[in-house]
Structure 1
Amino acid sequence: MLVTGTLDDGAGYQVEVTGREEQPIVGSRRVRALVEQCVGQPILLGPLGPQRDLEATDTAAVLALLRQHTTVVEVTQ
């Protein structure tokens, strides 16, 4: 899936969330670093849950992480 958004400092990004363990994010180094730092931590998939530990292969959890830590503008399958 292709995700377009902005980081907290206003910098724009466009990444591909691949679902592959060896390279879960293609595009922005900053977004890739965010995902790598949060692997193994609990993440809410929606505002009220459910919650599960972030895995690099879990595209829904990676998207939820991006929505929590950045402003997601567009998601394209």
Structure 2
Amino acid sequence: MLVTGTLEDGAAYQVEITERAEQPVVGSRRVRELVEQYTGRPVLLGPLGPLQDLVATEPTGVLALLRQHTTVVEVRR
């Protein structure tokens, strides 16, 4: 899954969510660090839930995290 967006400071990013344990996100170093920081912490999968601990190899959770902390512009599967 390819995700394009902007960070809070306006910097653009493009990452690939790979679902691989050794490298779950490829691309922006800042997005990789964000995913690492939140792995194992609760993230809302939708606007009203459910709440689930982030597993970096699950694209649904990573995408939900990016939607909460960045502005997602495009998602290509």
Q: Name the TM tier (shorter chain).
A: over 0.9
3-state secondary structure, aligned to 2:3: strand
Q: TM-score if structure 2 supplies the norm length? A: 0.98
User: For residue 5 of structure 1, what is the aligned residue in structure 2?
Assistant: 5
1:1-77 superposed matches below 5 A: 1-77=1-77
Identical residues among aligned pairs (%) = 74
Unaligned runs of 5+ in 2: none
Q: How many residue pairs end up in the alignment?
A: 77
1:19 Cα shift? 0.9
Matches of 1:47 and 1:21, distance apart in 2: 27
- Structure 1's consecutive aligned runs of 4 or more residues displaced over 6 angstroms after TM superposition are none
RMSD (Å), alpha carbons: 0.4
Q: TM-score if structure 1 supplies the norm length? A: 0.98
1:21 Cα shift? 1.1
1:43 Cα shift? 0.5
